[in-house]
Structure 1
């Protein structure tokens, strides 16, 4: 458990204790009824804690996933709860999660994603720069042997590796231009080849 989770647990236990104490004081003349109320509230409390603990698993189960329709040549990406669109691509045979960024010119990999895709990040030359919302970052130009999603495979794909810290790899316009259309409709991003 992290420090935040322990703090939340302590807060919830204290809150539950205050509520239990209040019921006990209010119903001290009818102790049997008070114990029934306390048991009911304890079960509610345990249920809330269980739902809170399982929320990530529940959200992953109900959240729509990326869908590839090979016969129609389309890829549907659901909007994530944070408002972004994410896509999973196979880069040199390794799954890499990208955030779709129509404001980015190129495909940009995090150093970790590049390493997992077989790129030796120790020998990269960060000679180019990119302008971001957080300022200028150093980048290294690379060529990806293969990038695939569903039935679509592209070879010799130009990309960059970010020299700084970056949470997600970016799928920019240099790759998105390979699709005939890009449409946002009904909470989905639809890419058509």
Structure 2
């Protein structure tokens, strides 16, 4: 085994010398240097595998099954890497169906983050966002001038609803109610992040679900609705 090791190392060393000497020519033995280097690599791998097979003493059928299993594993890993973005989109589609408000897709457009949302069964576009790192489920409401949190969501995001003054009138589906002004250190949806945002916190029991309003949406470079999908662009 030690003899074979030194033979392989000598062959690799000779190949490297030939590649360096023929760098300007671009060819070695009439073969492009890149192809020659790949041939040396494949030959080295084949020699190592062949030596293992010969020295193992195991039946060829057993070895073939083992190598076949490892080959399929490597093939699956390579395929997973090559199709990683398609698999990510598939996973997002599944999570969007299982967890309401999960982004249907996350991506980039001209270097800017994009988030694609799927319309919920209630006909609204919902999103799971982070407010001060706390997950909050909101309705994306282009008719709301401000982002408004329910008292429960505000408490989860680190605010104290009991210590706020509800003096700001807010129109909701149930009529006009009172809300309190506050500032969120960060609001994030996918890769779209905004810091130090003005928000409103509805009085306890006054709002059924939090709203992501135009004070956040207007900071985007654009958004559009395509059928059952809404695309937000940073």
Query: Is the TM value for this pair above 0.5?
Result: yes
Partner residue, 1:76: 116
Shift of 1:131: 2.2
Farther off after superposition, 100-109 or 160-169: 160-169
Structure 1 residues 165 and 149 mapped into 2: Cα distance closer, same or farther (>3 Å)?
Answer: same
Q: Where does the alignment leave 5 or more consecutive residues of structure 1 unmatched?
A: 1-58
Q: Alpha-carbon deviations, 1:143-164, whole Å to 9, x = none?
A: 0011112222211100000114
Q: Where does the alignment leave 5 or more consecutive residues of structure 2 unmatched?
A: 1-95
Q: Alpha-carbon deviations, 1:110-148, whole Å to 9, x = none?
A: 000000000011110111111233221010000001111
Shift of 1:101: 0.8
1:182 to 223, 228, 234: 223
Structure with the larger RCO, 1 or 2 (CA within 8 Å, 6+ apart): 1
| 1:192 corresponds to 2:233 | yes
Task: Tell me the TM-score normalised to structure 1 length.
Answer: 0.64
1:89 to 129, 141, 163: 129
2:170 to 112, 130, 139: 130
Task: Give the length in aligned residue pairs.
Answer: 135
Correspondence list, 1:94-133, <5 A? 94-133=134-173
Correspondence list, 1:40-55, <5 A? none
Q: Alpha-carbon deviations, 1:56-99, whole Å to 9, x = none?
A: xxx94498941221455211000111111001111001000110
Partner residue, 2:206: 165
Structure 1 residues 185 and 143 mapped into 2: Cα distance closer, same or farther (>3 Å)?
Answer: same
2:184 to 144, 167, 172: 144
Q: Distance in 2 between matches of 1:151 and 1:69?
A: 8
Structure 1 residues 188 and 60 mapped into 2: Cα distance closer, same or farther (>3 Å)?
Answer: closer
